[in-house]
Amino acid sequence: MTGAQVSGGGEQGAAGRDAAGGSAAGRGAVGQGASRAGRDLRSAIVVGVGLGAVILFALFTVRQTFVGIVAVAVAVSMYELAGAVKRGAGIRVALVPVLLGGQAVVWLAWPYGRDGVLTAFAVTVLVCLLWRLKDGADGYLRDVTASIFTVVYVAVFASFAVMLVVAEDGVFRVLCFLIGVVLSDTGGYAAGVFLGKHPMAPTISPKKSWEGFAGSMVAGMVGGALTVGLMLGGQWWQGVLFGASLVVTATTGDLVESLIKRDLGIKDMGTLLPGHGGLMDRMDSLLPSAVVSSLLLQAFVPA
């Protein structure tokens, strides 16, 4: 999730207070252990640091371990998303082929790149079409569409993070991607808390502000210039464009998931991570940003 949020909001919808879990809601004192988003801030920090430590350990030991982490995250996120659409809208995702196909998409991205991803995705779509036949015509198109969406939104997008790490300097490419998203979130949170007054998308995520978005943009561009320049030897303007692009994709991903959850009438995708909701609630800004990171870094600093 990104941090471009309005400070001091008190809006609550049927789907919960900012269904995307915006970090800068205006209720509750941080000193009392609750973030302004109405979440347990201390738990959120502990979980976030723990996840970051696991990823860093994987990157700097055996890079293939990072692929395993992505694969686990994809499986859990797909399961949460499938459960959410069933609870909220009665849509039946073809869970078995979706989970197996998602793993194929991720693992084939390492040795075969985009060709492997495309092949695994095409086979998964075919299996989903066949799998759903047994339940008859009622809701067939709806269920198949949701199944394919789940594969694309989670597994295919996540496969671009795997393709980042394949290069010889893949560790630093992944770090540029992750640091960019984290800085976007942090800059937006700070600006949203202290300066947020003008809602960005009040009907979707009422706690996000244009001031928070500006904070995300400043932090993202500065961070992009530093990471791309120092880690990959890119030009400063490439880093600025990279960072700005990640802010846009991270914010878009956050808003899209917020809209999905409002449509389903739920607050969180799951309850796995204290202070965060489900794992899918943490993947919203990372997934689209992985796609843009892979494409831009390959264009700016070819592996």
* pLDDT tens profile 114-142: 999 999 999 999 999 999 999 999 999 99
Q: What is the pLDDT of residue 1?
A: 55
Asked if the model's pLDDT at residue 33 lies above 60, the reply is no
Does residue 297 contact residue 13 with C-beta atoms inside 8 Å? Answer: no
Q: What is the pLDDT of residue 228?
A: 98
- 193 pLDDT band, cuts 50/70/90, is confident
Asked if the model's pLDDT at residue 162 lies above 50, the reply is yes
CA distances to 45, 64, 166, 211, 255 from 218, rounded to whole Å, are: 23, 33, 29, 11, 19
The residue ranking higher by pLDDT, 279 or 21, is: 279
Tokens of 1: 């999730």
* pLDDT tens profile 80-93: 999 999 999 999 99
Cα separation, 16 vs 131, whole angstroms: 34
Q: What is the pLDDT of residue 271?
A: 83
- 15 pLDDT band, cuts 50/70/90, is very low
- 66 pLDDT band, cuts 50/70/90, is very high
Asked if the model's pLDDT at residue 224 lies above 80, the reply is yes
Q: What is the pLDDT of residue 44?
A: 65
Does residue 103 contact residue 74 with C-beta atoms inside 8 Å? Answer: yes
Mean pLDDT, residues 36-57 taken together: 73
Determine how many CB atoms are found less than 10 A away from the CB of residue 31.
7
- 189 pLDDT band, cuts 50/70/90, is confident
Mean pLDDT, residues 156-160 taken together: 98
Cα separation, 70 vs 155, whole angstroms: 9
- 275 pLDDT band, cuts 50/70/90, is low
Residue in this structure with the two tokens 């990372």, named with its chain if needed: 286
- For the chain, percent of residues with pLDDT exceeding 90: 71
Asked if the model's pLDDT at residue 47 lies above 90, the reply is no
- For the chain, percent of residues with pLDDT exceeding 70: 85
Return the domain boundaries, the chain.
19-61+170-303, 62-166
Q: What is the pLDDT of residue 28?
A: 35
Does residue 7 contact residue 13 with C-beta atoms inside 8 Å? Answer: no
Write the DSSP assignment of the chain as a string of letters: ------TT----BTTBSSTT--TT-S-S-GGGTB-TTSSBHHHHHHHHHHHHHHHHHHHTS-HHHHHHHHHHHHHHHHHHHHHHHHHHH-----HHHHHHHHHHHHHHHHHHHHHHHHHHHHHHHHHHHHHGGGG-STTHHHHHHHHHHHIIIIIIHHHHHHHHHHSTTHHHHHHHHHHHHHHHHHHHHHHHHHH--SEEETTTEEEEEHHHHHHHHHHHHHHHHHHHHHHH---HHHHHHHHHHHHHHHHHHHHHHHHHHHHHT-S-S-SSBTTTBSTHHHHTTHHHHHHHHHHHHHHHS--
- 40 pLDDT band, cuts 50/70/90, is low
pTM for the full predicted model: 0.84
